[in-house]
Each structure stands twice: as structure tokens, then as C-alpha cells.
Amino acid sequence: MGKVNRYFQPVEDNVQSSTNEKFVKYDVDFNKIHDRKKKFKNVHKERKIIKKIPNKNPKFKGRAPIPEELLEKYGKGEGLDCKEIKTKIHQKKIEKKELNIKFATEQAARTEILLTEEYGCLDADDGETTTQYTQKQIANNVDIAAASKHFELKLDFGPYRSKYIRNGRHLLLGGKKGHVAAFDWITKKLHCELNVMESVHDICWLHNETMFAVAQKNFVHIYDNNGIEVHCLKRLNKVSRVEFLPYHFLLASCSDEGYLSWVDISIGKLISQYNSNLGRLAIMCQNPWNSLLCIGQSNGVVSMWSPNTRDPVAKMLCETTPILGLNVDPSGRYMATSSSDRTIKLWDCRKLTGPIQHNRLSSSATLLNFSQTGMLAVGMGNIVEVYRNPTTPLCSRYIRNRSNTPTSYMEFCPYEDILGVATSKGFQSLLIPGAGEANFDALEANPYQTKRQRREAEVKSLLEKVQPELITLHPSVISTIDVPSLKEKVEAQQKLLFVKPPNIDYEPRKKAKGKGGSVKVHRNKKIVQEQAKKEFIKDTKETQKKQKSNKKTTSNLLDRFL
């Protein structure tokens, strides 16, 4: 390790001088200055005054500055404009709050320096490209521990699906012909292996490695880490894809018959189940940022579903041909879609706009997966390609791997430089340097979790279980201010309370001469006006009553946003 120069490190020569400069002592003989006061005894004493002098050396300006991009990364958005607040006390309160938020942001940005682990990288020599390196070459050039992470399993019950657990430590394999295996893939320790004697359509880990769900021929079954069937969810039948929403403890699934369902696995309750009216659903992924289910349709539309409404929360027309692959990146910023016209498009998943990037491939991609650092793996037949910076114009092909059998599923391993590729004849894990997040947060996902830590994390996460009502397009909607609806409420109240009966201009029909004098006309006018007024009062009373009865039914937590 060479000497690291940090930007806050002072140059050694200046250290001495700067410390001396800060405080200068003055010895003052007060007898000379205050001759008049000699009669007071106390003044005779010599006093020392320490005076602070501003530091003139521009190199040392207190704490190290924080780069703008870091502040932006950890920032919590624009604050409130305190000048618009009318009451002084609230203005002060908000000002203080804003200061606190700013301080928190700065502190968070400063912690960046404590992140010790370095990201992986792969640089090609002159005249070479990174795509030409084979897995064997890469494995030969890395340390033994990392090289052991590249392995291949030959299995006979394919095509397989594979899922990594949230901390990247455990792997779950499910073969179409009934083979299910769970193991710690780093130590290669097998948890369980079984054949369910039914077709397996999809698998997924639940909140930790002690349980996983398997979508079988008819129902979804839940197994524990010894391979013992714990539950059979008969309400979920003919399921094609399952996803686990870790913060909500929801097992989301889509079925061959077009049904979407969400089961709360902590209480075993079916939260919501409805028909999407889209026919067979087979392309599904979750948006990790807001936990909406994204479903790729055969008409090129991606629809996003929440358990709270029976209509999609959002729909995007992404392709003109059927969608084959769909994935959302872990930060929830980007969505990648691929279709049968051999294109890949990248979309802004927060603004629901795009495409940001539009690429054409040699053949149509059926599998897409984003890594934690934003790399995109694309699976086409038996070829897997990994792209760097897929969302920018600098997008470049990074690694290319060809296997003998077609790829059936692939997924980046969280917190590791690994891409797990499941094929029809087994599983192989590929080394993709720089794909994984180097520094994990142990309170969020800890690959080195002990048994006790796992148990504690389970309890903590259960306590913090987010309610399914909070699955919305924008996840932080709960912390926003309910301004427009309040305004609307006040307006509605005022409308109800302060209404005037309408003015009715009664224009009598022209009648023949001699029929009906002015008295009669006037009386008719009064009658019409009276009638209108009565009707109006009746109407307003009814609406007021309705308003009152409506008030009682509000119970949902997010009703205030309706």
C-alpha cells in the first residue's frame, strides 16, 4: 500500500506555524494605561489577555469540505422555504429542522470515507477488449478465494431457475422437473435437496434462509431449510412466477390464469387477489424501490400493480412487439425491457418516461438483470452478455459468455461480483468484476450473519413490517404534506356552508291580450322562485348528510391522499 493522501491531511511544514498563529498572548501593564485608577487596589495586578486572531492561512478552513455529488447522493431533497411561513415561531422551528436535516446529510456524506472495501474491476491490456477474456482466464488471474466462486453444477432436472437470497450468501435452485436445492454457495454447504415430484415453475427465498417458496404444478408450497414442507398455499394455484417483497413480508405471485395475488407470510393472510384480465402472465419482476409488480404484456405494455387497486397503477407502452425480458434496477431508477424485435430499451422508472437508451442486439434477449452497481446482464439463447453503463451513451459490452445449453434464468448475486446463470443442464456462476456493491450495511443485509443475528434481524424486520397500503407509485408519499387535499377540504366545506339559493329570472310567456294581468304574473313568479329555493335547500341538506356519513368510513392510512 502506498501512502494515501487525504484531502483533509495538512502539509506537515505548515502545522507548526498555524498552531502558533492562532492565539497570541499579550502582556499588558495596566498601570501605564490606567493611571487614573491607581487609587483602586485591584487594578494594580497584571492581567493577561488572550485574543483570538482570525486564521489567515487559506489552506486550513476548519472541517474538510464535502464534495457536491456526495451531498446530492445523501441529500433528502430541497428543503422548505422558511420565508414563506407566516408565523414566526413555526418559521424558527422549521429553520431548526432544516438545519438538522442538513447536518444529517453532511454526516452521512462524511461516512463515505469509512467504507473500506474496494469495488472489483477488469481492465483490458492494449489491443485487447474485456469481452475476449473467458471465465477461465479471469479465474486464473484472481485470488484463490475469488476463483473458488466460479463453479459449475451439472444437473439433470432442468431447465433451472435460481435465486440468491438478499444478502447474497445462499442460493436456491429449482428444476422444472421437480428438483429443488438450497445451499450456502460460498462454503458449498447443502441445506436441503429434494424432488417435489411435480413440475416446478418458480422459486424464491422468503425473508431469510430458513424458508423458501416453490411454485409447483398446482399450488405454491413453502419449505423450510431442511426441505420439510411447512405450508401449502392452495389459494395460489397455477402460479407461474413468485416474488418476495422483503419489507412488506408479502409473497407476490402471478398465475397462468391471469391472477395476481399477495400473501402476507408473517400472518398467513391473503392480502389481495384479483384477475388482471391480461391472460397468462409469465413475465414479472418487482420494482425494489416501491415494491410494485411490473408485468410485461404481449402487446408491449409494462403495467405496474399494487395490492390496493384492481387497476394497474401505471402503464407504459414500451415496445411494439411482445415483451420478452423485463427488469428494474435495485435503486428503482431504471427499467430495462427487451422484445422480440431484438431491441433493449431503458426507461426512467421514477418519471415513467423514456426510453433513455435504445439498443439493438443480434438476437432477441429473453433475460435481463441489473446488478447493484448498475451493470446489465442480457441473456440471449446460450449467450450471456454484460453491459457497463447501460443507461448512458457510453454503454459498452463488458463480458460475454457462451455456454453449451440455453440459459433459463440468471441473476446477479448481491454484494458479490457474481452472475448466477441457470441453464437447462445445470447452473454456473460467472465472475463479473465490479458487479456487486462492495460495502454492505449489516443492519440491512449481512452476508456474515450469525444465527443469533439472523434471529434478531427477523424480529426487527417483523416489527418494522411496512403495511401493504403503503405500496404506492412513490414510496415516500407518507412523509409528504397533504396540502392540496386540505385546501380542497376547506373549499368544499365553505361551498357547503355558504351557499346562496340561485337567482331565478322568471320570464313569463307572452300571452294573448286580456289573459293574466301583472298581478297574476307576479304571483307565478313568486311560486316558481319559492319552488326552486325549496328544492335547493333540500339538495344541500342531502349533500351535507352524505358528507357526514362519508366521514365515518375513512379508516385507511392513506385515505388522506384520496
Partner 1 sequence: MKVKVLSRNPEHYLRETKFDIHKVPRNYDPDLHPFAAAREYIRALNAVKLERVFAKPFVCNLDGHTDSISCISKHPKGLSSLVSGAFDGEIRVWDIPQQVCVRNFTAHDGIVRGISYIPNGNSFTSIGDDKIIKTWNSLRPQFGEEEKPLNSILSKTILYGISHHRRDPIFATCGEVCQIWNESRSEPIKTFQWGVDSLHDITFNPVETTLLASCASDRSVILYDMRDKAPLRKIIMKLRINKLCWNPMEAYIFTCASEENLYSFDTRNLKHPVNIHHDHVDAVTYIDYSPTGREFVSGSYDKTIRIYETDKGHSRDVYHTKRMQRLTCVQWTLDNKYILSGSDEMNIRIWKARASEKLGPLKPRERASLNYSESLKEKYASHPQIRRIKRHRQIPKHIFNAQNVLKAMRQKNKRKEANRRAHSKPGSVPFVPERKNHHVLAEHK
Give the C-alpha separation, 452 to 215, whole Å: 30
79 binds partner 1 (CB under 8 A): no
Which 8-state DSSP code applies to residue 55?
-
State the nearest-atom distance from the C-beta of 121 to partner 1, in Å: 5
Query: Which region among 108-116, 257-265, 306-314, 500-508 touches partner 1 (by CB under 8 A)?
Result: 108-116
Q: Is residue 436 involved in binding partner 1 (CB under 8 A)?
A: yes
Residue closer to partner 1 by CB (options 276, 461) is 461
Q: Which is nearer to partner 1, 269 or 460 (CB)?
A: 460
| Cβ neighbours of 522 (radius 10 Å) | 12
Q: How far is the CB of 37 from partner 1 (least distance, A)?
A: 37
Choose among 404, 417, 410: nearest CA to 367: 410
Query: Which DSSP string corresponds to 505-554?
Result: ---PPP--TTSS-HHHHHHHHHHHHHHHHHHHHHHHHHHHHHHHHHHHT-
184 alpha-carbon distance from chain centroid? 27
Looking at 475, 524, 528, 529, which residue binds partner 1 (CB under 8 A)? 475
Q: Select from 113, 124, 228, 496 the one that contacts partner 1 (CB under 8 A).
A: 124
By the rule CB under 8 A, 330 interacts with partner 1: yes
Q: How far is the CB of 561 from partner 1 (least distance, A)?
A: 12
Binding part of the chain for partner 1, among 16-24, 272-280, 437-445, 538-546 by CB under 8 A, reads 437-445
DSSP secondary structure letter of residue 119: P
Of 37, 455, 489, 560, which one interacts with partner 1 (CB under 8 A)?
Answer: 560
Q: Which cell is 195 given?
A: 424432488
Q: What is the DSSP string of 410-463?
A: EEEPTTSSEEEEEETTEEEEEE-TT-S-SS--TTT--TT--HHHHHHHHHHHHH
Place of cell 293574466: 516
The contact pattern for partner 1, residues 139-158, with x = CB under 8 A and - = no contact, is --xxx-xx--x---------
User: Given candidates 443, 486, 496, 537, which one binds partner 1 under the rule CB under 8 A?
Assistant: 443
User: Whole-number minimum distance, CB 461 to partner 1, in Å?
Assistant: 9
Footprint (CB under 8 A) of partner 1, residues 13-72: none
CA dist., res. 44 & res. 459, Å (int): 71
400 binds partner 1 (CB under 8 A): no
Q: Which stretch binds partner 1 (CB under 8 A): 151-159, 192-200, 227-235, 463-471?
A: 463-471
Amino acid making up residue 72: E
C-alpha–C-alpha distance, residues 556 and 320, integer Å: 39
Q: Which of 156, 193, 311, 444 touches partner 1 by CB under 8 A? A: 444
294 in contact with partner 1 (CB under 8 A): no
At position 138, the amino acid (one-letter code) is I
Residue 311 as a binder of partner 1 (CB under 8 A): the answer is no
Residues within window 201-260 making contact with partner 1, judged by CB under 8 A: 247
Contact 283, 301 (CB under 8 A): no
CA separation for the pair 545, 276 (Å, rounded): 36
Q: By the criterion CB under 8 A, which residues form the site for partner 1?
A: 73-74, 108, 111, 114-125, 128, 133, 137-138, 141-143, 145-146, 149, 247, 288-289, 291, 330-332, 415-417, 431, 433, 436-445, 447-448, 450, 453, 463-467, 470, 475-479, 557, 560
